[in-house]
Structure 1
Amino acid sequence: MKKLYTNNHANITTCDDFEIKFKDYLNYIKFSNPILFNSFTNNLDFKIQDFKIFKAEFNSFFEFWLKETFNYHLSFNIKNIDSFITTYRTIDEKFSELFANYNFYKKLNSAIDEFYIYDITTDEEIKYKKIINDKPLI
């Protein structure tokens, strides 16, 4: 599946193979938040509800995941994670998942009060243009 996420319909991030790059996160929310899991794994466009709660939950997941997966011991902040990623860029098979989580973390933490997820698995060009020009589909 191919997902697109944005907080303002201008600074958009697209993720190919979302179900692979976010498999640990999707496993995590499969049990902790089945409604959100279904929204992510189905061909849905949606706005994150309870944005502050979602941001805190994803940050908690990402911090725990870094510690468990990479034995991360630095303070949990963008600067440290950025340097950590630079170190691990080519030496670990989980890098694509790390990079996807990190991009999501950056985009999510730069958002103020809104965050949108779109499925662009089909009709990508049409949907992308609609998101940019008509804002929002949701």
Structure 2
Amino acid sequence: MKSKTLAAWLAFLGGPLGLHRFYLRGFGDTIGWLLPIPTAAGLYGIERVQQYGQDDVLSWLLVPLLGFTIAACCLNAIVYGLMPREKWNARFNPGAPQEAEPGATHWGTVFAVALSLAVGAGVLMASIAFSFQRYFEAQVEEGRRISE
């Protein structure tokens, strides 16, 4: 039986590593195996920012990948947490009664949804702000270079 609360917490805490996908769909899930790729690329982008500064073009392309991956996993946690018990059990616990306990919403589920909403929105806005700021600064620099 797959617990909705555990799936929401796995999506929130271990989503960028695909833990929620492995929990719900098993180790044969392709998306679960692909999720660490943008996570690692984003972490490499953060490392490049620390090494080369914010003027590194590759870093401002890679850093948002991590942010968007975290935000998408937080969205998954919200979707899991808000899914009705009947739909959860029909989808992830086939053969179980519709009112089975693993599909129930508990306080732990509510906290996972609330934290996912706060963190996901913050990370998404920060990723968008970082990438747009770097993009427009690069455009201004290019305009200055052309005008000289």
What is the TM-score of this pair, normalised by structure 1? 0.35
What is the TM-score of this pair, normalised by structure 2? 0.33
Structure number with higher strand proportion? 1
